[in-house]
Structure 1
Amino acid sequence: MRVGVFHFPTDYGIDPAELAAALEARNFASLFVCEHTHIPVSRRSPFPGGGPLPKRYAHTHDPFMALAFAAATTKRLRLGTGVCLVPQHDPIITAKTIASLDQLSGGRFEFGIGGGWNVEEMEQHGARYETRFKLMRERVLAMKALWTEEEASFEGEFVRIEPSWCYPKPVQRPHPPILLGGETDLTLKRVVGFCDGWLPRAGAGFDPAVARDRLRRMAEGVGRDPASLSITVFRAPPEAAALDRYRQAGIDQVLLEVPDLPRDEVLSLLDRLAPLTA
């Protein structure tokens, strides 16, 4: 089981390039970064975690730029979005960005995706809350076509791409792994329908063995090989005993939280977490 981290890369926190190098030096497997393009001041959408919206949500770097700098200072570290809000991204531009990042990093990118919760944020991108998952699916399928077809095209309700050349292609074949965040049965249907892995959050009552069994049953129900679908657990508990249970349950990867703290505090935290990678 791989042990990585997730992090909000902010304009006031540790530099993503330095964080990545520090993670690789301490044998962590991956760095996943969160994103919000912007936060509308209206704040109509309540924060899902309750209470005021944390400062980091309005101060994130662009995830692909942050990961590009992280790639430049590392050789082995996997680089992921956790998560990219696909309904807020043009699929052609995003496909090229991801393919470029995957190629220039030597095939190290993992595409964690989600539909988003901030209604006013997505509306300013022309997306609607009620149809965001349909839009997400079409954009992902369109990106798959752009990554795998020499003359790519796509025709859907929301996305239309005439036959086009789009290069570079990703190093990873057929494309970087696509991991969908969420915990519901609808999430799992989408995972087995058009993704390569599941990215659930380790909330209260999360059982890794139950999670693995849920994904297995859902995959078998549509004729997919469960072994072809990975599970990466977001915000896993930073405790050796808990991670042993995840390992025994067949979880592929866990992401520990590295908060938006100053450089020295982050490096000290990584030193404390590093024994968990063994």
Structure 2
Amino acid sequence: MKFGIVFFPTVGPSDKSAEVYFDEALRLVDLAEELGFEHVKIVEHYFFSYGGYSPDPVTFLAAAAGRTRRVRLGTSATIPAFQHPVKLAGKLAMLDNISHGRLDAAFGRAFLPDEFKAFGIPMDESRDRFVEGVDAIKRLWTEEDVVFDGTFHRFGPVTLLPRPVQQPHPPVFVTTARSAESCAEAGRAGHHLQTVPNVMSTEELQSRLSVYRAEWAASGRTPGTEQIHFSYPCVVAEDGEEARRKGRVDDDRNSAAIRDAVASWGTTRSDAYPGYEKLVEATKTSHFESKMEQNKLLIGSPDQVRSQLEQISQWFGDDITISLGVHSGHLSYEDAAATMRLMAEQVLPKLNGGRG
């Protein structure tokens, strides 16, 4: 298993200013580099405390690139539907050059109705826009004199500058939350996979990974070369009860943030998002204790979290990569730094295979 950190802010101006949050987050980037973590990622969302402090992952990752030399930099994820592919391909290629080839490019469809409304994009078009956008970006990275004639974008002939450092292009990840078909499509297309175990049962996730791995192999790619990344909120303290107290606070605030963000699903329906109207009720019945029982949160003493990770490895395989959500903004910088140090010094060295 490999380990990195992911930033998913769930704070707003009444909790902490964006200036302070990003100062803290960039100090944690420095610590990730120092402690040997594999990657740093950040999300893309808008308007709500649920991720709203991060409307442009590339801006944050460019700042992170300037103060690191080793750690990989990941979008988690950026949304092709909300940007012209020429613009997004160019921004990501610039980041790959600034970081000397350390970009992991993850793309997602988005799922919040208010975001689509603000951009004037119909939700029913999200899948088609996603597929077209990723295809256009990959062509812009790898071809010259690109002529693109899509449903939503037409351009060319153009040759993108700068060219990416990584050849033929940076690793491409698909971020999916619930869709089994999205996992299958990712495997067929040769895209790596990012997902959040918190939104489905262990059995559902095992089934989706089986489909993904089977499609990856069936497409002629070497089994085991695919990358699978999971994200987990994480709070570690020497005293397990202290970690649980802090983790409960963090989870309660995170749950409140997503409740506000998905509220418009109460009056929104889209054939592209079957069942998403149930999100409103699901966020009302999300409980800290049940998440802990199901290993949806990595919270406890170093030994307790190590046991959780060993169970996760048994469920999903020891070749996965874990992104640790260490700083949503509700706990202090010191709490987040302590979590990272305890993970690096007391948890990961005792896992079978270490950090990989």
Deviation at 1:246, TM superposition (A): 4.8
- Which of 179, 188, 191 does residue 186 from structure 2 map onto? 191
Give per-residue Cα distances to partners, 1:102-148, cap 9 Å, x unaligned: 11101111112211111121232232211101101101110111100
Deviation at 1:224, TM superposition (A): 4.1
Does residue 84 (structure 1) correspond to residue 114 (structure 2)? The answer is no
In the other structure, the counterpart of 2:288 is none
* Counterpart code for 1:164: V
CA-based RMSD: 2.3
- Which of 5, 10, 21 does residue 13 from structure 1 map onto? 21
In structure 2, relative to structure 1, the CA distance for the partners of 1:66 and 1:163 (3 Å cut) is: same
Q: How does 1:1-278 map to 2 (within 5 A)?
A: 1-8=1-8, 11=18, 12-15=20-23, 16-36=25-45, 38-39=46-47, 55-60=49-54, 62-182=56-176, 183-203=178-198, 205-206=201-202, 212-235=209-232, 237-238=297-298, 239-247=305-313, 249-261=317-329, 262-275=332-345, 276-278=347-349
* Counterpart code for 2:32: L
Instruction: Report how many residues are paired.
Output: 263
In structure 2, relative to structure 1, the CA distance for the partners of 1:272 and 1:14 (3 Å cut) is: farther
Report if aligned partners of 2:107, 2:134 keep a CA contact under 8 Å in 1: no
Higher helix share: 2
* Counterpart code for 1:243: L
Give per-residue Cα distances to partners, 1:153-209, cap 9 Å, x unaligned: 222111212110211111111111111122422111221243521112122533676
In structure 2, relative to structure 1, the CA distance for the partners of 1:269 and 1:113 (3 Å cut) is: same
* Counterpart code for 2:2: R
Scaled by the length of structure 2, the TM-score of the pair is 0.67
Q: Distance in 1 between matches of 2:336 and 2:66?
A: 20
Query: Which has the larger displacement, 219-228 or 21-30?
Result: 219-228
Unaligned runs of 5+ in 1: 40-52
Deviation at 1:56, TM superposition (A): 4.6
Report if aligned partners of 2:41, 2:74 keep a CA contact under 8 Å in 1: yes
Q: Distance in 2 between matches of 1:119 and 1:268?
A: 37
In structure 2, relative to structure 1, the CA distance for the partners of 1:29 and 1:220 (3 Å cut) is: closer
Report if aligned partners of 2:73, 2:102 keep a CA contact under 8 Å in 1: yes
* Counterpart code for 2:342: R
* Counterpart code for 1:198: L
Q: Distance in 1 between matches of 2:85 and 2:74?
A: 17
Scaled by the length of structure 1, the TM-score of the pair is 0.85
Q: Distance in 2 between matches of 1:193 and 1:123?
A: 31
Aligned identity (percent) is 25
Report if aligned partners of 2:180, 2:208 keep a CA contact under 8 Å in 1: no
Give per-residue Cα distances to partners, 1:39-81, cap 9 Å, x unaligned: 2xxxxxxxxxxxxx6x253322621110011111111111101
* Counterpart code for 2:93: A
Deviation at 1:245, TM superposition (A): 4.7
Q: Distance in 1 between matches of 2:213 and 2:51?
A: 34
Deviation at 1:222, TM superposition (A): 4.2
Query: Which has the larger displacement, 239-248 or 130-139?
Result: 239-248
Report if aligned partners of 2:90, 2:160 keep a CA contact under 8 Å in 1: yes
In structure 2, relative to structure 1, the CA distance for the partners of 1:216 and 1:58 (3 Å cut) is: closer
Q: Distance in 2 between matches of 1:250 and 1:214?
A: 18
Q: Distance in 2 between matches of 1:264 and 1:61?
A: 25
